[in-house]
Amino acid sequence: MTLIKSISGIRGTIGGKPGDNLTPIDTVKYAAAYGSWVKQQRNKENYRVVVGRDARISGDMIQQLVMNTLVGLGIHVLDVGLSTTPTVEMAVAMEHADGGIILTASHNPKQWNALKLLNAKGEFLNAAAGQVILDIAEKDNFQFAEVDDLGEISKNEAYIDIHIDEILELDLVDQEAIKKAGFKVVVDAVNSTGGIAVPLLLDALGVRTVKLFCTPNGQFPHNPEPLKEHLGDLMSKVKEEKADFGIVVDPDVDRLAFVDENGDMFGEEYTLVAVADYILKNKKGNTVSNMSSSRALRDVTEKHGGRYFASAVGEVNVVEKMKAEHAVIGGEGNGGIIYPELHYGRDSLVGIALFLSHLAQKNCSVSELRKQYPSYFMSKKKIELTPQLDVDGILKAIESNYTSEKISTIDGVKIDFPENWVHLRKSNTEPIIRIYTEAKSQNEADALADRFISEIKSIAKL
């Protein structure tokens, strides 16, 4: 059982002992630390925070604890109920709130939950703000409100509809072409809130929808990370239904992947590549992804005359780089689309609308669309960490072994070889080292990953 306290939020498993897991006591402690931070940002009479959740079994319990802790601090709460991460992000901005909390552990299994923390712009906190909150929690530095100054909870469960309306208003969402194309799509929403939001969006766009695991009860029918090895049911259903393609989202709907008409993966990395190709065809500009993402985005960006930039891993880092480089589209290779015309956050719903627009205008199949992009193959592996491992020392040793290569250390160690690359980094959300590689064939990518796993084990004497 695990509790991970990081600048990107508080994530842990439900049950067990306080301090070791995400128990009610830990939930209240970190909600109080976040609320205290919110009140430090501006001196005002009324503070308001938006709270929403995915459909995890523990979600309602955690939400009640979080909301009432904020009430105890004298903060008013807008409860948007079952929602998506991008929907809560948009609600914070549209409500001019002081912050937001999304209760979701993203792609982690059902025993996990987390507090994802937002600033007043509806964006994830930067490292400095996250550290302040951890420090407040460590010192139990809370000042709760007196009885006449308690906050209040109000509800607005219309924000998924509002989110969809905002997407439909975007210039590059071609509703007419999508409706004319007459798409039939299978949706796997892993029995979370994508089962509410994605069919609503598709219906508004005139797309016939076959629902697979769209009941938002938190009973995940498979590992919720949208990777090939977890999506056998979706692949089979697409072929059985003779659908144009399949859509899969993670529990909080900020990661997006597609399955083509043959039941084959389009490639999680290529979600952003395809959407960027469409945006750049219509609007010149730059792109950003994190350094664990495919080189294919760089290739497509340069084809359209733009410049590609890489950031450290983490949505807040991508967003900061996008703003600095005036990127027109960006995101993460795990299927996260960030489209600034809507908001600065990973958003599967806007990704679906833009992908459908691209596909409708291209008038081709999903498999034919995939063939239009450079072929790279990735391997994503990991090594479980133990407390005694000196991870920083291991990464430093790897770096010293490859001084003749192009190396970046802004986030772990990334080594760019002429024909492939490897990126080694500690996860912010799990006790693991991630080993990402990319090459011109799957065998080469896997072999490169295995080679570095062996090197790490040798250095660590595992």
pLDDT tens figures, 113-158: 999 999 999 999 999 999 999 999 999 989 999 999 999 999 999 9
Cα–Cα dist 238/406, whole Å: 42
User: In sequence order, which residues have a C-beta less than 8 Å from that of residue 20 and are 6 or more positions away?
Assistant: 1, 2, 3
State the pLDDT at residue 386: 77
State the pLDDT at residue 263: 98
Helix (H, G, I), strand (E, B) or coil at 145: coil
> Candidates 3.40.120.10, 3.40.50.300, 3.20.20.70, 3.10.20.740; correct CATH number of 3-157?
3.40.120.10
6 assigned to active site: no
State the pLDDT at residue 429: 65
Q: What does pLDDT average to over the chain?
A: 95
Enumerate the domain spans of the chain: 3-157, 162-369, 377-460
Residue type, 220: F
For the residues 32-55, what does the mean pLDDT come to? 96
Helix (H, G, I), strand (E, B) or coil at 97: coil
Cα–Cα dist 103/121, whole Å: 18
For the residues 171-194, what does the mean pLDDT come to? 98
Dihedral pair phi/psi, residue 14, rounded to 5°: -80, 140
Fold of 162-369: Alpha-D-Glucose-1,6-Bisphosphate; Chain A, domain 3 (3.40.120)
Contact 49, 88 (CB under 8 A): no
Dihedral pair phi/psi, residue 408, rounded to 5°: -120, 135
Residue with tokens 């992908």: 355
Given a cut of 60, is residue 422 above it in pLDDT?
yes
How many CA atoms does the CB half-sphere of 383 hold within 13 Å? 25
State the pLDDT at residue 59: 98
Active-site option among 106, 192, 293, 379:
106
State the pLDDT at residue 248: 98
- Percent of the chain residues past pLDDT 90, beyond the cut: 90
The closest of 101, 122, 97 to 347, measured between CA atoms, is 122
State the pLDDT at residue 303: 97
If one compares 426 and 462, the residue with the highest pLDDT of the two is: 426
Q: Which two tokens stand for residue 44?
A: 């005002």
Q: Are both 3-157 and 162-369 of the same fold?
A: yes
Our CA angle for 120, 127, 306, nearest 5°, is 80
The sign of the CA dihedral 344, 163, 167, 217 is positive
Given a cut of 60, is residue 229 above it in pLDDT?
yes
pLDDT tens figures, 308-362: 999 998 899 999 999 999 999 999 988 999 999 999 999 999 999 999 999 999 9
State the pLDDT at residue 391: 85
- pTM score, whole prediction: 0.93
Given a cut of 90, is residue 8 above it in pLDDT?
no
Given a cut of 70, is residue 78 above it in pLDDT?
yes
Contact 294, 273 (CB under 8 A): yes
State the pLDDT at residue 31: 98
The closest of 74, 78, 39, 47 to 150, measured between CA atoms, is 74
pLDDT tens figures, 23-42: 999 999 999 999 999 999 99
State the pLDDT at residue 318: 96
Q: 377-460 maps to which CATH number?
A: 3.30.310.50
Cα–Cα dist 54/60, whole Å: 9
